[in-house]
Amino acid sequence: MQKRALLSMASLLFLCSAQIAYSQVNSSYIETIEGEASGMKLDAQTRVQPQKEATLNENFGKIEGGAISDLSQGFTLEQFEDILKNNYIGSYLFYKRLNDEQKLEVFSYYQSNPDPQKVRLKILQVTKAQ
Amino acid sequence: MILRGLFPVLMICFNSVQALDVKLTQDKEFVEVIHGDKLVRIQRIQDQDHMLEGSFAKTSRKCPPFCIQPMSAGEGVRTVGQVEIFSFMESELLDGTGVIVDSRTPSWWKRGTIPGSINIPFTTFTLEVNDPQLIEVMKSLGAKRRGEVSGFSRAIEQIGLMGGSQKNDEWDFTNAKNVLLWCNGMWCGQSPRAIRGLLELGYPADKILYYRGGMQAWQSLGLTTIVPDN
């Protein structure tokens, strides 16, 4: 009985010391990487240029959710935009920056390709052609 | 008068056709990502005489802990390069089915990151399974903490029924997003640790991607970085 109690205590001590050792390794690791971080400097030329970033509000305006949830064939332009807004917010943000003519180009593409991935690529393609 | 009116239009046309000399790939000049409330364009430094400056020009750091990492961060985890990241940004990230995670500690993150990334320090994935911070982070990755699950349900799940392949005792990964993790590069152990943590939690390996080149490779290619607002 006593032997068993001693064994349990020994295993508990072993587990505790292993845990402490693990924490020590972890904390010394973190200490070292934090030390390296303190002097970290990125190449200034890679920093994003002001004209290459814009706030989403400036670019996209207000975003409101709609009601339809699935992209399939036969939707009107309004419904199509509603679906993008609800389910493909990233694509919708890019879509919203397009002018009316480009939006129609995407919509007409969707009518023959009602596949979210294809529509997304089309939006990107039109965005980049701007 | 007419010419004056045409000038801005011509400028717009000129700007839109101005091609970059240093493109990302043969057919891609730049990618745009949403970073917080900003739309950021990622491209390369256009100065072809530019030499890398800053901390990532350094070749050597003490090992350990800054040791060279293996190509694979875990069984079933895909290691990717920049081109795959650009595709990821234009697909999964764009539509919210994927997340790019800067898994470095906040002191690294706040000095500059890859646009489109969110900061989840690798230490998060070693928290206790019931820690609210871990639960919150896992939720943001699409994984759900499970409540009490009966032995019978688990038995059924374990034979692959009821979506069992995407669940364990603690988490439901049915809607888990694809997670692309990175840190400082091939000499950095932070993202491999984060990946090990995720795998230990049961996160499906096929939904984890490891960008081994990290900030080191990103900087070497002169790719755009951003200093987070907070």
- ipTM reported for the complex, 2 dp: 0.82
Q: What rounded mean pLDDT belongs to chain B? A: 89
Given a cut of 90, is residue A57 above it in pLDDT? no
What's the distance, CA A52 to chain centroid?
19
Is A56 in the same domain as A35? no
Residue A45 lies in a domain: no
Residue B122 carries which side chain, given as an amino acid letter? Answer: F
Judged by a CB distance cut-off of 8 A, whether residue B143 touches chain A is no
What's the confidence (pLDDT) of residue B22?
A: 96
- Do the Cβ atoms of A57 and B223 come within 8 Å? no
% of residues, chain A, pLDDT over 70: 63
Query: Cα–Cα–Cα angle for B101, A41, B107, nearest 5°?
Result: 50
Q: Phi, psi at residue B226, to the nearest 5°?
A: -140, 140
Residue A24 lies in a domain: yes
Sequence-separated (6 or more) residues with CB below 8 Å from residue A26: B126
Per-domain boundaries in chain B: 76-142+177-230, 143-174
- Nearest CA distance, A82 vs chain B (angstrom): 15
What's the confidence (pLDDT) of residue B153?
A: 79
Residue A113 lies in a domain: yes
pLDDT tens-digit map of B80-94? 999 999 999 998 998
What's the confidence (pLDDT) of residue A124?
A: 84
- Do the Cβ atoms of A37 and B108 come within 8 Å? yes
Q: Would you say domain B76-142+177-230 falls under CATH 3.30.300.30?
A: no
Query: Distance between CA atoms of B87 and B109, rounded to whole angstroms?
Result: 23
Is A70 in the same domain as A103? yes
- Do the Cβ atoms of B224 and A32 come within 8 Å? no
What's the confidence (pLDDT) of residue A2?
A: 62
- Nearest CA distance, B111 vs chain A (angstrom): 7
pLDDT tens-digit map of B136-191? 999 999 999 988 878 877 788 887 777 778 899 999 999 999 999 999 999 999 99
- Do the Cβ atoms of A52 and B47 come within 8 Å? no
pLDDT tens-digit map of A106-127? 999 999 988 888 888 888 888 8
- Do the Cβ atoms of A41 and B111 come within 8 Å? yes
Give the long-range contacts of residues A123-130, CB within 8 A, separation 24 or more. Answer: A123/A91, A123/A94, A123/A95, A123/A98, A124/A94, A124/B90, A126/A98, A126/A102, A127/A94, A127/A97, A127/A98, A127/B32, A128/B29, A128/B30, A129/B16, A130/A97, A130/A98, A130/A102, A130/B16
Domain count, chain A: 2
Is A56 in the same domain as A82? yes
Is A64 in the same domain as A108? yes
Give the range of the structural domain holding residue A19, as residue numbers without chain letter.
2-39
Tokens read off for B65: 């802990």
Judged by a CB distance cut-off of 8 A, whether residue A56 touches chain B is yes
What's the confidence (pLDDT) of residue B171?
A: 95
Is A33 in the same domain as A68? no
Predicted TM-score (pTM) of this structure = 0.77
Is A75 in the same domain as A95? yes
Judged by a CB distance cut-off of 8 A, whether residue A93 touches chain B is yes
